[in-house]
Amino acid sequence: MQYNPGWNNSSVNLLHVRAVGPSDTLHYVWSSIGAPTVLLVATAGRSSTLRVNWTRLLSPAPAGAIWIDPPSSVVYSAAVVFTKVFEYSEAKTLEELFYPTYDLSDFSWDSVNHTLNHTALTAEFTGIPATDPSGSFSNGSLAFRVTAYEAGGRDGPLPSLLHTANSSKVEFVLAGVVPRGNSSRFVLELATVEETGVMQKLRSTRSIDDEYTPTIFEMLSLVAKSQNDSSTLSFLQWKATAYGSQTPSREDSIQCRSRGLQAANWSLPVSSIVHAYFGEGVGSTYTISAINISFGGEEGKVYQEKRYLSWSALLGFGQPPKDTFSPLVISIMAVALGTPMVMLLVGSCVVLFAQRKRYSEYEPIN
């Protein structure tokens, strides 16, 4: 993990996570320059490096300021941009009342260097609006917590996402932000940038196994697929839940819904590293898709009471991890299905044995 490589000023944030495999290298470039963004770049070989022209990156025309050296090693590249947070409440007429939007490109962000943990491979981007007329952020903040992984495993805290070494986690957190309505709900808007010939698909998978995430049976995945060979190139995966506590339990669950995937016909907000890497062709040469993820329990009461919201997602390269039935669930199913079968077999044997004992060498008396 490198913070602002080649730049000694901490007034801006750029975090480079580099993962080297046997024959390839994965690059994650997180930044809060403009809207919070992560670049995902997969390269062939073990020696590819990130290059940043800081003078150009911080200029009004950042195109070409970020590249991978050598450029020919790049196999795949994409970006996820966290653009806006909406807040709304439902009136008695069931109409949605929207408050002024929080544009994340207008936020002021703390230095990530203070939260960077090279041992745990974690960092936190924390910000507040540059202008806050309502005072909602006077004692609160919005954050994106980033975690990289060296190996496969499962997170301890809920929602206990299963991860691989080819993935990283991002956690969206609202803490202490005063809602502007009595039953406010929040919506996070994010956009994806993909190369020509790559399309995004939203998948929903349901399972009866909720051992690791109690009462949550749905997993959603936003996958980037190549139109040529239908192979999955990257993914964003999350459970259909958020939580209203720093130490979440089942009772802290907040309902999470995705409001469809749409082709974005609008230009991206100011996001320097997207334009710095992809150039001015974003929106024409590259495909932009957007999705809204909404959070709100019953009438928004969970957030109203605790003033805390946390939503976790996994992003990475290749196929998203798939949960299989845990040994506990397999054991329960084996007992539940096997016990009736055993009883049926034993009962059949008892009946057959009883019928055989009825016969005798004596003839019955008429």
Instruction: State mean pLDDT over 5-9.
Output: 95
Residue 333 corresponds to which tokens in the numbers above?
């199913």
Buried b (16+ CB within 10 A) or exposed e, 56-85: bbbeeebbebbbbeeeebbebbbbbbbbbb
Instruction: Please classify residue 138 by burial: count the beta carbons closer than 10 Å to its beta carbon, then call 0-12 exposed, 13-18 middle and 19+ buried.
Output: exposed
| Cα–Cα dist 138/136, whole Å | 6
Instruction: State mean pLDDT over 94-117.
Output: 92
pLDDT of residue 329: 56
pLDDT of residue 356: 65
Interval 206-242: pLDDT, tens: 988 888 899 999 999 999 999 888 788 999 999 999 9
pLDDT of residue 337: 67
Interval 133-184: pLDDT, tens: 999 999 999 999 999 999 999 999 999 999 999 999 999 999 999 999 888 8
Mean pLDDT (the chain, rounded) = 89
| The pLDDT of residue 246 is above 60 | yes
Instruction: State mean pLDDT over 273-280.
Output: 92
pLDDT of residue 129: 97
* Of 14-18, 81-85, 305-309, 332-336, minimum mean pLDDT range: 332-336
Helices (H), the chain: 54-57, 272-278, 301-306, 327-357
Interval 51-83: pLDDT, tens: 999 999 999 999 999 999 999 999 999 999 999
pLDDT tier for residue 324 given thresholds of 50, 70 and 90:
confident
| Cα–Cα dist 295/86, whole Å | 10
Interval 82-95: pLDDT, tens: 999 999 987 665 67
pTM over 0.75: yes
* Of 94-98, 110-114, 115-119, minimum mean pLDDT range: 94-98
